[in-house]
Structure 1
Amino acid sequence: MDKDILRKLEERLGPLHARQRLGIEADHEAQVFGQGLTFFHLENLYLAPAIIRNALKLTGLYWRARRNAERIIVRRNDVKFAALPSVFDRYIILHISDLHVDMNEVAMRNLIQLVGSLQYDLCVLTGDYRGKTFGPFEAAIEGVAKLRAHLKQPIYGVLGNHDTIQMVPAMEAMGIRMLLNECEVIARGDQRIFLAGIDDAHFFRVDNIEKAASQIPDGEFSILLSHTPEVYRQAAHANFNLMLSGHTHGGQICLPGSIPIKLEAMLPRRMGAGAWQYQNMSGYTSVGAGSSVVPVRLNCPPEITLHCLRRG
């Protein structure tokens, strides 16, 4: 453990929170079985990449799937809210998720070219910056820094199940405000909305929606960033208006019609990709800009999303 990173984390989070979070990682980060919302974690299985590659090669789909993973598209999601403050009407949020930047260099180069021409008011990153779930993270930080140079401020992020808390000091040093069960005020003139973010809820189970939501006054418009959408019930009952997530990759390898063969998440399939609604909360699950385990995609193109908030 780098002593400088530990010092910065203790300053940022407090000694108890920092050491507790690091200890949870050390205990569980490479587990295949028995931790988090799902019992089995495919991405931690040593043979998983070879199995997937060989299966795709046998079907003749491997190289097509590789090319698909490099072709990132821009989606637009218009969403209306009666409670949205008037000055935030047509407010645009650029949502980028599941970069896994060290998995596919070509995809990340294409992403950098793509974001430079986009117009938006706020950028949010919903986790999984690293390819693996454990081990070195320097390549992921380097890749995020290259992308960050082409993004407009303000930028907020949360951690995913592939990320270590040790990445936070470097991420914040490059101008990405990481929300670790915290909330920030986004102001326009005399009106405001609240942006909250939680730590990983899927694998390390270090999320605390109650803490993040406790900073939001009753009746105020609020958005929750969570790497996984699996905590949608808790988010809705905490009165968030909008929840932005990723994690699922939309299945990544899908049947025609974008039907996922398997979703690495415990939630209804209708919430596995794109826009959805639960009670009074709107949600969006990004299929991600990167790829997990193997840099391949079938019938599920990688994406970034422009969310346009509308009043009405």
Structure 2
Amino acid sequence: MSDVNRTLARSIPETEIHDDADLLTRLEQRLGFVHARQRLGIEQDHAQRVFGGGGINFFHPENWYSMQTLMRWTFKLAGMYEWGRRNARNIQVIHNPVRHRKIPAAFKGFRLLHLTDLHVDMDEAITARLLEITGSLEYDLCVITGDYRAQTYGPEEGALEGMRRLRERLRGEAYAIFGNHDSIRMLPPLEDMGYRMLMNESALIDRGGEKIQIVGVDDPHYYRVDNLQMAAQGLDLSCYTLLLSHTPEIFKQAAHAGMDLMLCGHTHGGQVCLPGGTAITLDSDCPRFVGRGNWRWRDMDGYTSTGAGSSLLPVRFNCPPEVVVHTFYPG
């Protein structure tokens, strides 16, 4: 075991060290010492905390699992739980046109399937509906902006199995990033499945000899391991550039860094909203205008998807789940 692996293994029970040796080696080689150690360390230290310390966001309702029981019984006593579950299974397909002067002519009509907040191990009926929809859609490229696991800690096997089933339905390449529900331990298996994980990295998409750029950052919400400067190294900002971020919270940094389009999720659009779609809470440190749907900040366009899955409980009110097909047009 390398010195880096020994360092990372100190936070792992002795019985798990040998089983995790290959994983730690792959993470070291894939991410480097600092990123791997930081991500794993925060996962260990804050796995079941509601209140985060050390500069991480102070309050995380998604970590407060006793809230799930309270909410479930509240909805059941009000006779709303099954109604909310039906709403959560009713995934909408949103078609969103994207026009920008920097979109190359070769990308006219290019369709980008955007999935987010899948939580594929929470409710089999929701996951089955997601697989049904994605298998029937026409698109050129898929991007996924994080949150594959239902809980923020614990086993990853259920989420990985759901993501394997999804990958079998997706056509062509699928670029993905991590959210605050995802463990860095999921990185090697997801890449083995064929997902192209962007861990503060970028990729070039070629179509007819013309190009656009995709930038992806690791979770900015809870883990705070996003590094836009690293991800954007070597970019040609005269080329149309889109950013994948789990949360819209870094929208100002992204706009000032020259991103043209930001795709994100995390907020679930509120998930439980008042009539008319007004979110009770967005669980995100950002203004409400970036909390759902299309928005714009300075010269950057943005879209925050309500997501296909549900958080805490598989229920939704006045906030339908969605998958989004963004269609590009020069303009």
Calculate the TM-score normalised by the size of structure 2. Answer: 0.91
State whether structure 2 residue 50 is matched by structure 1 residue 32: yes
Alignment-derived partner of residue 239 in structure 1: 258
Residues 91, 309 of structure 1: 8 Å contact kept: yes
State whether structure 2 residue 36 is matched by structure 1 residue 18: yes
Q: From 193, 197, 222, give the equivalent of 1:174.
A: 193
**One-letter identity of the residue aligned with 1:162:** H
State whether structure 2 residue 177 is matched by structure 1 residue 158: yes
Which structure 2 residues correspond to residues 220-231 of structure 1 after superposition, within 5 A? Answer: 220-231=239-250
State which structure, 1 or 2, has the greater radius of gyration over its C-alpha atoms: 2
Residues 46, 52 of structure 2: 8 Å contact kept: no
**One-letter identity of the residue aligned with 2:50:** V
Give the drift of 1:111.
Answer: 1.0
Calculate the TM-score normalised by the size of structure 1. Answer: 0.97
| Partner deviation per Cα, 1:149-196 (whole Å, 9 max, x = no partner) | 000111000000000111010111111000010001111132111101
User: How far apart, in 2, do the equivalents of 1:192 and 1:31 lie?
Assistant: 44
Q: Structure 2: where are the runs of 5+ without partners?
A: 1-15
**One-letter identity of the residue aligned with 2:191:** E
Q: From 22, 43, 63, give the equivalent of 1:44.
A: 63
How large is the Cα RMSD of the aligned pairs? 1.3
Q: From 128, 141, 152, give the equivalent of 1:122.
A: 141
Q: Structure 1: where are the runs of 5+ without partners?
A: none
Residues 38, 265 of structure 1: 8 Å contact kept: no
User: How far apart, in 2, do the equivalents of 1:38 and 1:6 lie?
Assistant: 27
Alignment-derived partner of residue 210 in structure 1: 229
Alignment-derived partner of residue 8 in structure 2: none
Residues 118, 309 of structure 2: 8 Å contact kept: yes
State whether structure 2 residue 121 is matched by structure 1 residue 102: yes
User: How far apart, in 2, do the equivalents of 1:68 and 1:113 lie?
Assistant: 16
Give the drift of 1:31.
Answer: 2.1
Give the drift of 1:34.
Answer: 2.7
Residues 35, 225 of structure 2: 8 Å contact kept: no
Give aligned-pair identity as a percent: 51
User: How many residues of Structure 1 are paired with residues of Structure 2 in the alignment?
Assistant: 312
Residues 292, 306 of structure 2: 8 Å contact kept: yes
State whether structure 2 residue 141 is matched by structure 1 residue 139: no
Q: Which aligned segments of 4 or more residues in structure 1 are displaced greater than 6 angstroms? A: none
**One-letter identity of the residue aligned with 2:45:** D
Q: From 181, 206, 209, give the equivalent of 1:187.
A: 206
**One-letter identity of the residue aligned with 1:156:** Y
Residues 28, 204 of structure 1: 8 Å contact kept: no
Alignment partner of 1:184: what SS? strand
Give the drift of 1:16.
Answer: 4.0
User: How far apart, in 1, do the equivalents of 2:34 and 2:81 lie?
Assistant: 47
Give the drift of 1:37.
Answer: 6.3
Greater CA deviation, 53-62 or 136-145? Answer: 53-62
